[in-house]
Structure 1
Amino acid sequence: MCISNNFIEQQAYRISEEIRKNSVYRVVGVDASGVSDLSVNQQNDHWNGKDLITKVILEDKDGRLYYVKPDDNGLMFSKGEITYKEYGKRQKKEDLKGISYFFVSIGFIFILMITLLKFLS
């Protein structure tokens, strides 16, 4: 059984493609790990499944650039469902949630280790 080990890269690529197809803004490029500012045409030619697409660069009618992550919030912004300010708030909220989960899990492991040491001693 073959299992793909680059799930995150494939997910980011899939969502960046959805952003490109469904955006109300003009997609001018992407930032990928190891390579920056790929034009949209180069994205398909360059992507080899190993580089993680970290940002999609969008441009509005006035020429303002918006850098969004290839995730659900970035997709919602590119479709015009939320504003860039709301996108920023959602990203901060998700980042804080991820950091909180990390520290809670570290705390749980620490408490578990101390409990096991007392129990086994």
Structure 2
Amino acid sequence: MQAITLIFPHQLFEQHPALELKREVVLVEEYLFFSQYRFHQQKIILHRASMQWYASTLRAQGYAVRYIAATEQIHDVRQLLPTLAQAGVTEIHYADVVDDWLERRITKACKQHNIYRK
């Protein structure tokens, strides 16, 4: 069983509840936050800069971090989760996403690909 921690742009917490050193961290420039609408460019820049800083901070603390940019096809959780399942991921840990659309997409993809959510 391979487990990962999934972190979205609005979850860059100083003490993230899903972080654990033994799990790889996947930071995602998720479709809903970067591509769904024509967001103001300064908002996109702020999200990207804060996520890049967060990734470097986690790496400095010893976490293995994979960064999924909005330019990658799998930046949408509907494509990301099947890709992770094919790579052997069977369990994802994440904080409450506080977004109904994102939660529904995660739930549906996890059910389809037998990924346990925590």
TM-score, normalised by the number of residues in structure 1: 0.26
Larger-Rg structure: 1
Higher relative contact order (CA 8 A, sep 6+): 2
> In proportion to residue count, which structure has more helix?
1
